[in-house]
Structure 1
Amino acid sequence: MAIGPSLPKRLLREPLLHFLILGALIFGFLSETGPAETGASDGQIVISGPEVERMAVAWAQRWQRPPSEAELAGMIHEAVREQVLYREALALGLDRDDVVVRRHLRQKYEFVTQDLAYDTSPDDATLRAYYDLRADRYVQPARLSFRHILFSPTRRGPSAKADAMQALADLQRAKGPQAADMLGDATSLPSGFEDLGAQEAEAMFGPEFVAALLDLEPGRWAGPIASGYGLHLVWLSDKTLGTRRPFAEVRQQVKDDWIYHQRTVANEAVYRTLLERYEVVVEPPEAPSAGAGGGS
């Protein structure tokens, strides 16, 4: 009976196979990066031939020439120095309870395990399903063209809103934004914006300001609308609402997002499996000691 072509794919999805691969990778990783080189005892440091070759190749890639004998000897000297000080630091327990060391080792472990146990070649059906569930991530942002007049509470105090409302009443019959040239307070902001992206507008004025603009009808003065700068009267000349980008246009972005999501899920699954090996105990903080002179 012939073995179907789908068998290798099924094997690659087996969790047991993933953990066997994971264990082999971690063993190899730790064996190569541990303090002792191949064949070295606790009191022996061996700088192997392949390691010397890697030093020379790295030097040549950086400086575009092979190292001299003195330069190579210097690199070997530094490698020996690193091993000596590394081992002595371990012997003194300097790696224990060190946040920087702990985080570095965590990052190394996650680097070893991050590419296991998930698919990196999803088909279009999978990507389209992911795209449909997260439609808000793949939207062409709205764009706005408008002029504004600022009324600053810092300069006008409590009368800022009343002044803005009076100016709006005076502008109700205006046929265009140019009627406002002499109104409002001076500001370092441009007086108008053409085809400004909603995200850029939010960064400048805040999300509430942009939401209010998107609700306006173009071609008339409106407001006052609040921002971090103060109160604004706004002439909206044009707006383009956000539209969903076609799947074909964002397929690569969807694939990148999907793979990142799968990696996150796979890493969490590995962590949960490892966590089962441990009993976690969180001790309460020590009670604060009584202050001096608290009683007799």
Structure 2
Amino acid sequence: MKAKITYLSLCCLLLTSCQEAQDVHMVNNIQQTPIAQVGTQTIYKEDVDAELRDLPSHLQYLSQNKRARQKILNTLIRRSVLSQQAFALGLDQDTLVHRRINRSRDSIMIEALRDWELSQITTPNDKDIQTYYKLHISDFTIPEQIHARHILVRQKSEALAILKQLKQHKDDFASLAAQYSIDDSNKSRGGDLNWFPHGIMVADFEKVAFALKNIGDISKPVKTQYGWHIIELLGKRPAYKQTLEEAQDEILQILRQQALDSWMNDLVKDSQINIINNDDLEPTLQLPINQP
């Protein structure tokens, strides 16, 4: 069975006095702009926007990319066609599938409940924020950090050859990293590792990187399990304690989350719950005692 899919225009229409307004629907008092009809299901512009908002932060720029938005729409259309076919076959009536649908529904409703309760919570006052700050001052200590970049190669001889070039042309670090480094996660950025505190990098790398004293200092080749590194120091930040003003937004979120957790715990505690048979929780597969 082939579903007939009608595509509505994805182009943004410039509204002038001689043009008609774009078709807009109201769904649960929320403005929705339909862009495709897939069988019995309507796909809205807001559905595409929601998918784009769920992308990782470094991909958020795609929300303004027309090709990316078209790709998201195509994905939603495919998902809708396949989902409708599954329902048409009655697969939602399968016991295990039905339970999975219920679990997904529960997760969505819990998220909606959290958002609703957060909107009801009274904003903590200045005294509450100050009290929390004083009691948890150690939590607002920012550790020492450095900003560095590196070139990673497999052999020490390669590292020594690159170091020789750097001694003659120090400004070539980024271009040499792009050309020779085998660390694909940052070679396109000239080997830039951004800012990091102690405990992030492997021990041998960290020891040498934090020992560099002056901005622009370049290390001798450093061996780790990944290969041989040449490190350049780009910046240093000493450890410091955030002021109350700097920590205020974070504390506000913490206090709101604590209030939400307390409300949800009370809700569970006050509910009528009857454990029918704890024996049914026994695992069906007995693992050997020496296995985790």
Q: TM-score, normalised by structure 2?
A: 0.45
Q: Which has the higher contact order (CA 8 A, sep 6+)?
A: 1
Higher Rg: 1
Greater strand share, 1 or 2?
2
Q: TM-score, normalised by structure 1?
A: 0.44
